[in-house]
Structure 1
Amino acid sequence: MDQASLLRSFELEFRVAKNPALFESLLHRIFTLSSEIISITTFEEGLCLYANDAFFEVVGFRREDIIGRTFDLWANPSDRKELVLMLKERGTVRNFESDFLDEAGNIHHALLNLQCVEILGVQCILTVARDITKDRVQMKESLHIELLDDLRQALKSLPNLVFRLEKDENGMLVYTLSEGKIAEAMGLTTEAIYGRTVPELFPPEIYAVAEPHIRRALNGEHTEFEIEVGGVVLHKLMSPYYENDRIKGVVGAAIDITEKRKLETLLQRSEMSSVLGQLAAGAAHEIRNPLTAIKGFVQLAGELFDRSGNAKGREYIDMAMAELSRVNGLVTEMLWLRKPKEIRYEPVSVPKLLQEMVPLLHVEANIKSIQVLLHMEDVPDIMAKSDLLKQVVLNLCKNGIEAMNEGGSLHLSSWSAGGKVFVGIRDTGPGIPAELQGQLFTPFLTTKPTGNGLGLFICKQIVQDMNGDIQIESSPQGTAATLSFPAAPA
């Protein structure tokens, strides 16, 4: 049959004779080829007149269970009532979302398009639906991933630390989350430590502090504590982490309180210095008056011993005068604590100042065969008071000389870096006992039999008044004091 004959025959059967077999074949193939779910039900009773193959594939029922029967697959029965009312008003409903149940009771989410049609004089509903369950799941998963990513980015931007520890399949408590600026600065982000335990990441002394609080959190308690990690003081909070109403781990947060602790320490030192200054000034004034009288009487007694030729008495007088001079020196240093600090500073050349001090140091150093060595760079001037800075350097050098045995060496150096000028005083003595190294600037703390314990304390006060800093490091190979000052403006 040629194409023209085929066209005439099709029009005759389809349009004129309205061949029912041809209609049924075409409609069945159209509906079957469609991936959408198609059904025709009576308007009032909901009797199913037709459903395509896609319908049965999705709902799981057999054809004989559906066709010619009234069925209700609605997960929410009120949806059908709402649709019937809408169809009565409009005749058509588009993009209506609803849930329906399959034979196994699983919920599917569908997008419905419905239209009123009349079949053999009976009002029916033609429903074309698309199962969007997978689309919805994918959308939820995508949204979940997006929310997780947003949450992770938010946590990373926090100035603090947020972490979570969970039990793995072996019951070990491991990190599954660690974010925030603190985590980033310390190299403890989730990427870096995921799946690792606290003992793996931190030394025993840190774990010993944290472990009791971790145990408390695992027991359902909320706890907080302070801990120092890598020079950073953290205030940590820990709480139990629940999953299905069971404790599965620990969640926590931490804030950096390093600066706060420094400020508190400075405030305490400032208050202590103020109180100490007031006590020292009062005590010094009370001591100086009788001290002057005692010194005068001792000198007078010395003259009497000289006249009588009593050599032993003279020896005792010299010893008494030496002790009185030491007491007077202590009183002078105590009074310095109450001196006004409104001092005008001027540019000072550190190399020049050190060179001027060498002759003063040689006198005492030569007695013990100690070498005084200079290592100086050309550095910028600093804003300081020359005589006060000399007092500091001289005190530190004297400490070093006194600490060394014969044949040692005292190294004085100067250098600059990062806009600061540094002065170094290093000796080759036996070092400071480890238990005292954290208390070096405490007033009246001394290891010298004849020391008063105010030297380093006053040195630090002088240096800080000049906007500088002083650090002391010690080992069995010797002690090094480092002064640092801002470079004077060019």
Structure 2
Amino acid sequence: MLSGSLNSLFEPAKSAAIPMQMIANLFEHSCVGFFLIELSGKLAAANPAFCSLIGNPESELLKLDIQSFTHQDDLLLCLHQASLLLDGTIPFYTMKMRYVCREGEPVWCRSTFTLLCEEECPRLMMVQVENIDEQVKLEQELLASVKRMKNVYESIAEAFVMLDRQARYTYLNKYAESLLRKKREDVLGECIWDVFPALTGKAFHQEFYKSWNEMKAGSFRYYDEELQLRLEVRLYPSREGMAVYYRDTGSAGMKDWDGAGFAELLRSFFDHSADAIGILDSDRRMLKINKTYEDMFGYTYAELRENPLLTVYETAHPELNRLFEEVKRGTPVSDYEMKSKRKDGSSLDISMSISPIYDGTGEVISFSVKARDISDKKKSEEALRQSEIKYRLITENTSDLVTLVDANGVIVYASPSHEVLYDISVSSLNGLSLFNADVVPESMILAMKPWFRHMLESGQPSLVEIPFLRRNGQISIIETYGRPVRDDRGEIVLFVLITRDITKRAQTEALRRQSAKLSTASQLAVGIAHEIRNPLTVLKGFTQMMNTTGDFKKQYLEVMMHEFVRIEQMISELLGLAQPPVVQYGRMALAAALDFSANRCSSEFNSRGVQIITAVAPDLTDLWCDEKQLKKVFGHIIQNALEAMQGNGDLQITATRDGGYVRIVFRDQGPGIPQELIRKVGEPFYSTKAGGFGLGLMISQKIIGDHHGSLQIESEPGQGTTVVLLLPAH
């Protein structure tokens, strides 16, 4: 069915070099989605891959237009790009967009729109559709995962910092800013020993590198002279750097309190602490609890006095007994996490610390128990863990390369698929620079550095295509899409890079462009042969006649000379098209240039009732262009308009600003051009004038295109013709 519909759509093209049946089979059996749309937006054909993606048979899709199944948030941009494609401003366009399936669910796709022409006239648009729904959802999930992780770090009620392998700050939570009295923007990227030089050579410095060299977690306490705080520090080293937790264990001013004052301070701390605190005797009977303890577990002191284990599940009793025995031997227990229960039977997660209390002889006579509700933290950690599991499953099983790099270009994560493309162990990539010659060839580094710098400075996603020399000597084309990840303050902390091998796609695109060039060259050759053969036939006929009769009449020679001039004119125009003159840009007075072109063309028509009216906006003084070339365009358009009006009517020329462009409009009162012919205007060797070659407008379009502008023609029979030029204002 699809093959038949394509044959009917391209009936005139059956004589082309590639059989139509072959194109139809490729269209129908491709694993990539394709569909064709008419210029009105109505679907003309859809292959099975696209029908499967949307969930509708072709018969249903052919009743729809593209607006019916394009997501409303993407429709406006899609239509805008389509208008640029139809105007000839762009040869094709590719965009990420969503199509709405039969069930109403949107599917992310990368769609490439290409204009299909019949004899250089736009007839259909072909759309190639690649399903990237999984990739986009991966990006969204990854961004959400990173944000959740940041939220967890910010919710930790302790000062927390991250340092890289060079001991440079990469992250501080809000508690760290407060405790260390440093703002994030002042220390991020700075070495800890430069920020706190007094720590060098001290206990902190020694414990830090001991933990780092042994790759083991460590903890210690020290007094910070600069901050005047007693701090407890916990160190957690990894291959990427060091995680450091700080806790204030008491200000320096406490040493100045006398006995009575210190006791009052401790009593106030006990009563008003945000943590649940209880004191037990050596037989583990509850001696005292604070209000927070009662609120957290729902039990009163009287209920817990004889049985403090009411808050503990029976399955945890043996482990709790072991912990108390350790504390009794003088070893405190810090931040032991366990499940606990309230009086109403509900569960909660707590972090418990048990410390010994000594008498004057050094004997343990009682215990202090501190509990903190960490239920919310546990839920956040579990949500993060589940997110990480899902993220790992996706990234470790996708054929695309997923890379996380920090703002300095250092790789913090690389998916297993890197081993296929780069032929390098993934474990060796983490911690390396993206621009390291051991990761990618030098030629790729030269291309990627400015791309990465642009993305870092603009803060916008970016796409780059780079040739890549594999280790086996083959050259591949890779496409990398980068997207920045920001923290809560809007600062870029990571980049997500999605890379894929598009060699086959690039080769297909190159073949398509080459085929288009050959088709254009073939059409041009046929036109040249036809146009030259006509005058040559005349010359040959007169030559044979004069050779036979011996009669050399003057009128014969005049006709022959006219045909020679015609051939010469056509060759000159072809040379002008094929070998454009050297462009010399400068400032051109627009009003003067239009007047010059109008006066030059109108001299022979003024006596016959033709009037040219020029109006240039006052704010348009000059234009940056090649003056000689633009005057040639103006002259060609004016000459055509005057000839079309046949000596009667007005030609109006206006020039105004249109955003960043200058709009120049030529509107005549000629007979107009039928719609079925207007599409051919601008094609080589097609002209509405007797004896015209059809190359003048083609050359004009090329000149305007070289100036990064556009030329549009609007016309209706009996309503005249309007030519609109759009040129950059600067």
Mark the structure with the bigger radius of gyration.
1
- Structure having greater relative contact order (Cα 8 Å, sep ≥ 6): 1
TM-score band by shorter chain is 0.3 to 0.5
Give the TM-score of the pair, scaled to structure 1: 0.46
Q: TM-score, normalised by structure 2?
A: 0.33
